[in-house]
Structure 1
Amino acid sequence: MPKILIVDDEKIFRKGLRAMITSLDPEWEVVGDASDGYEALDRAEVLHPDVILTDIRMPRMDGIALQRVVKERFPQTECVVVSGYEDFTYALQSMRYGAKDYLMKPVERSELGRILGKLKEETAKRGKAAAPKFDQEENELIRRHVSESVIAGLMRGMVQQHHVDLLRKIGVDFDQPYYCCFLIKLDKGSIGSERYFKADPSLFQLYIRQFVQEIVNKRMMKGYSLVLSDSEVAAIVNLSSKDSRGLIELAESIRRQITSLSNLTVTIGVGRVAEGVDSISNSYRDAEISLLYRLIVGGDKVLQYDTIRRDHDLCLEVDPESWGAMERAVLEGRVEEAASRAEAEIARLCRQAKSPELVYQKICKLLIHFYESAEKLNLTKAWLGERDIRSLIFDICSITSSEEFIMECRTLLTALSRCIADSRLETMHDPVELALQYLESNFHKQITLNEVAGQVHLNPAYFSSLFKQRTGTTFVERLTAIRMEEAKRRLMDSDDKIAAIAEETGFPNLRHFYRVFKREARLSPKDYRSEFRKEPEHPSGGQA
């Protein structure tokens, strides 16, 4: 017996449809009804209807948004939309999103009977093919979970190139050399706290995720979006060039269209374009940092890393010399000096600022700046423990006593300085960190694994295993990456001959350099210089 769920915000209309369906075809089981999209999703989770018959115009979540989430969460459930004449354009929009059919209000018995008959036939056919279809759906679900897990790992710097090869095998093909990460956060204020907390927050993110994916697909771009948490959706876009103008336009389009179609607003952090799989986590971190500036500039915006850092550079608003001295003391691990300078500078800020809002803004920027530094040093957890940077900033900005404010900021910056100092002490005794430092200083020489293992007083086989375990790359891969980074820098910033660059970055011969460079950068050294050169080459700067 096929099952149907009725969704409409008018109780009398739900009762009328229930009675009409029962009298038209007793084989249909009306398993329940709901007054809006959120209630319908809760019912569908339990009742598993074959068909959802839904109105277009409803409070909280309308029929179009409901249909988007149903398509994502319950792909075997068909939707039929009901609309008044004035909503006919919305009904057509629903058809584009996969609605099986539509009914005009007032609903005519003959038309409802026709649709029920057609749907009952299709439901029966699906039932006969249920076993193989279940396998197909199960495979699709596994595929999606694997894809999301790998891509989340890429964003957090936890997976490598061979995982991208796995993605390719399951249909997510990132074959371009550049990547950019987006982080999309729902502005809860655009929903209202009552509406937000009555609903399952994950539903908002599913809606946004699917919307983002549809826009990326429509633009024929390679990309993937996924729900990261109850408040954030992430997306990664694979690009053929470093040009970021199209990305900003894409982000603005996502922001505008979500607002126009759903009355929700979002803020989007956009990272810098990164080259290569190993740099994806840098773009994701940029997007995270960009999104933090929402605390300062407000929501419903696209915040691009380079632009937001330029427009809100800390040095533009404070004394560069005194704040620079404080920053150096913190980041160089001089704990006592960091404590005294932090206390003095925050006290001076509180005395001189024209309003409390200016104090909070500057401190937000300062803490975001140090958070970014801690991220790069992999010390965020050591510094903040289980605290989240956003909740930390909100806590700081809720303090109204200047003495308490100064001491809290002093404590935070002193703690970071101590973490940095402790980390450097550990590094002095850590064989892998010592080996990495040795590689950075000696990559231009013909060094071997045995040589570096000897430098850190370890057996070569044990050192090789420990290095791979700790860094996620082999000794040779890391050495090649360091040499490639320096070679790229010199190709862009100097007129040195390619042969000289190859020799001075540690490659044994020019032929080997060309082969490795083309494999890693997907361009020859000459083409790389031509494409990414910061300024035109001088005629005198010959190349080999």
Structure 2
Amino acid sequence: MRGSIMIVDDEPLIRKGLTKLIESNDLGWVVAGEAGNGREAIHKLAQVKPDLIISDIRMPIMDGLELANYMWEHCSHTMVIILTGYRDFEYAQAAVRYGVKEFLLKPCPEDDICRVLRQAYTQFQEKSEYQEKERRALRVREDHAVRAALLRLPPLAGGEVLRTEELLEGHVFWLARVDTFLPEGKEYRPEDGPLLQFAVVNIIEELLEASSSLERWITVEYGRFAFFMEPASDHVRFFHELCETVQRLLGISLTTLSLGLVSSAEDVSSMYRRHELEAPASMFTLTGSPLAFGREADEITVSGTDAAVTTAPGTIDETKVRTVQAEITSFLLLGRHAELSAFLRQRFWEDLHASMPQCRADALCLALAIREVLRKEIAATQDDWDIGTEIQKLRLMVSREEVGEWVMERIAVMEQTLASWLEERNSRLAERTIRYIEQHYEQECNLVSVASQMHLNPNYFSNLFKKQTGESFTSYLTRFRIDKAKMLLTNTDMKISEIAEAVGYTDSNYFATAFKQVVSKPPTEYRKMHQLNK
């Protein structure tokens, strides 16, 4: 994940120079906006939403120190780096009390700027990871609170009881239950339960992404899951698709049941208990997985008509899949495709000291993470990969070497898929980039952000675009914007500043300079000449 930067300086050339430096180095940052002074920066905060601000100390209207003070009071989550001259250094030091992370003494060597930005990105990344962990921890606490309400257990400390009311009221309560992990026609064994459960979790989460109506699901008791849906949504369609997909991929059947509209946390408990007393066990024939497995369950009890056993499985950690998925995505976004396979091989082989159940679980985690990235990032489907069949292959493996070979096969498939995708994408890079410029030229549309959209390293993207078009990306974008500005100058009475903004320039002075470089005349003179010839 890249961080966003706003550059604040009253000199356009300084802003341009910093932007070019950031775009031409892999520092983890994208320039999301610019401003000529502190007040302008504040006005743009809601639009740009920067993770980091680089600000000059001396500017008209509102200087860097005042901006740092404002950010400390109103947006303390945004980091600030101050640019200062030698004679202002002691003055700039006052900004320490406003949480300023670093000072850069002008003139700043490129190496110093890169070093500071890399350090800032490390802090940003650590902070983002911490926030994500906090978000997941909150979700787990909320799930426990909902479960406590359903089962009439003592509430957990931390204020989740009040939150539970907000989560449940006004939603339609659906219930589902696992019947067996040992369906006819499949050679599953009781110890395969954890792998099957985790496979179902991923199927469910894929379907949830496409369903804006689903608010929350939890494991109530082993094999029983509660879903809370928005009243206006098409519940039947969602659960039909869920049952069909799990049956098709795993050979496991599911049945679901609606218990009605929830009016309170106590109401949902009564609904659940009433169903437990009235409904025969045969009402459920749904075989799936505890949906929150890996987040809460330490032990799996596989129960059904043919077996009732308890297994101590290898831990399949949902968080681990998300972590690996994020790592793979990061390699793609930074254009480091060539390094990805080696990274994944090393990551897996480092865990081979684990027990065989854990080794199988780790292999499935890695394979599912690869599958998710290919599906989400490059829209690649793996129709030939049947999860149920692959799980059966894994469960029959008795050595770590066999599991390792299976993982290498999944990595090889990923390599082939990426290679085909890269070849097709790169062959049409100029076409796709030009189309993107046509749709976004009026916005921040710099080299790094567009290269990120194309999943390429900025330097590689820039070279490939020039090779295919004979023109640099920056030159093409400037010319395209100036052509749009000519049309506005010719056919409208808009102010120069309004035209500048309309074609993607936040600074009208910089726009005028760029216009003159391309047309050999300033925009005001161009307009006058056109009016004279009209």
TM category (shorter chain) comes to under 0.3
Structure with greater contact order relative to length (CA < 8 Å, sep ≥ 6): 2
